[in-house]
Structure 1
Amino acid sequence: DLESDSTSETGEVPSKHHGILNLHLLLFLHCCLWIHVTFGTDPYSTAELILVVMVSVSLSILTVVGNTLVILSVKVNRNLQTVNNYFLLSLAAADLFIGLLSMNVYTMYRLRGRWPLGAALCDTWLVLDYVVSNASVLNLLLISLDRYLCTTWPLSYPVQRTGRVAGLMIGCAWLLSFLLWTPAILCWQSVGGRRVIPDGHCYIHLLASPAVTLGTTLPSFYLPALVMIGLYSRLSAASRRRLTCLQAEQGTPKMAEPPLKGFTWKRRSWMASNLGSDLSLNQRGIHKSNCLSHQQPLSQTSSCATAEEDALSITDLHGSASAVLSSCPSFRSQERRRRRVMARERRLTNTLLAILLAFIITWTPYNVMAVIAAFRHIRIPDELWTTGYWLCYVNSTINPCCYSLCNVTFRKTFCCLLSCRTWKLH
Structure 2
Amino acid sequence: MRFTCFLRKMANGSDANASAWPRPSVNTSWQSAAQVLLVTAATVALSGVTVLGNSLVLLSVKVNRRLRSVNNYFLLSLATADLLAGAVSVNVYALYAACGSWPLGPALCDLWLVVDHGVSAAAVLNLLLISLDRFFCLTRPLSYPLRRTGKMAALMIALAWLLSFALWTPAILCWQRAGGRRLVPEPECYPRLLASPAVTLGTTLPAFFLPGLAMVGLYGHVSAASRRRLSGRRRPSGDRLGTCAPSLSASPAPSSARRRVAVREKRVTRTILTILLTFILTRAPHNAMALVAAFSHVRIPDVLWQAGLWLVYVNSAVDPACYALCSPTFRSTFRRLLLCRRPDPPV
TM-score (normalizing by structure 2) = 0.83
How high is the sequence identity, in percent, across the aligned residues?
58
Q: Per-residue deviation at 1:37?
A: 11
2:293 to 356, 359, 373: 373
1:407 to 323, 327, 346: 327
What does residue 221 of structure 1 align with?
208
Is residue 316 of structure 2 the alignment partner of residue 396 of structure 1?
A: yes
Superposition map of 1:167-182 within 5 A: 167-182=154-169
Superposition map of 1:168-317 within 5 A: 168-243=155-230, 245=231, 290-292=233-235, 298=245, 300-301=247-248, 305-306=249-250, 308-309=251-252
* Structure 1 pair 425–64 and aligned structure 2 pair: CA distance change class (3 A): farther
Amino acid of the structure 2 residue aligned with 1:300: S
Q: Which consecutive unaligned segments of at least 5 residues does structure 1 have?
A: 1-35, 247-289, 310-330
Aligned equivalents of 2:28, 2:185: Cα separation in 1: 19
* Structure 1 pair 190–72 and aligned structure 2 pair: CA distance change class (3 A): same
Q: How far does the alpha carbon of each residue in 1:279-336 deviate from its partner, in whole angstroms, 9 at most, with x for none?
A: xxxxxxxxxxx543699965734xxx22x32xxxxxxxxxxxxxxxxxxxxx9x53x5
Aligned residues: 320
* Contact persistence 1:67–1:92 (CA under 8 A): yes
Q: Per-residue deviation at 1:73?
A: 0.9
Q: Per-residue deviation at 1:114?
A: 0.6
Which has the bigger relative contact order, CA under 8 A and spacing at least 6? 2
* Contact persistence 1:67–1:93 (CA under 8 A): yes
What does residue 39 of structure 2 align with?
52
Q: Per-residue deviation at 1:224?
A: 0.9
* Contact persistence 2:267–2:327 (CA under 8 A): no
Q: How far does the alpha carbon of each residue in 1:368-393 deviate from its partner, in whole angstroms, 9 at most, with x for none?
A: 12222222222222222222111111
Aligned equivalents of 1:176, 1:368: Cα separation in 2: 24
Structure 2 residue matching 1:115: 3-state secondary structure: coil
Is residue 118 of structure 2 the alignment partner of residue 131 of structure 1?
A: yes
Aligned equivalents of 1:425, 1:225: Cα separation in 2: 38
Structure 1 residue matching 2:141: 3-state secondary structure: coil
1:110 to 97, 104, 107: 97
* Structure 1 pair 348–71 and aligned structure 2 pair: CA distance change class (3 A): closer
* Structure 1 pair 214–87 and aligned structure 2 pair: CA distance change class (3 A): same
Aligned equivalents of 2:156, 2:246: Cα separation in 1: 27
Which has the larger Rg? 1
2:272 to 338, 347, 352: 352
Aligned equivalents of 1:52, 1:338: Cα separation in 2: 51
Aligned equivalents of 2:109, 2:41: Cα separation in 1: 25
* Structure 1 pair 242–164 and aligned structure 2 pair: CA distance change class (3 A): closer
Aligned equivalents of 1:162, 1:390: Cα separation in 2: 37
RMSD: 2.8
Amino acid of the structure 2 residue aligned with 1:150: C
TM-score (normalizing by structure 1) = 0.69
* Contact persistence 2:96–2:102 (CA under 8 A): yes
Q: How far does the alpha carbon of each residue in 1:132-161 deviate from its partner, in whole angstroms, 9 at most, with x for none?
A: 111011111111111111122223212202
Q: Per-residue deviation at 1:123?
A: 0.6
Amino acid of the structure 2 residue aligned with 1:188: W
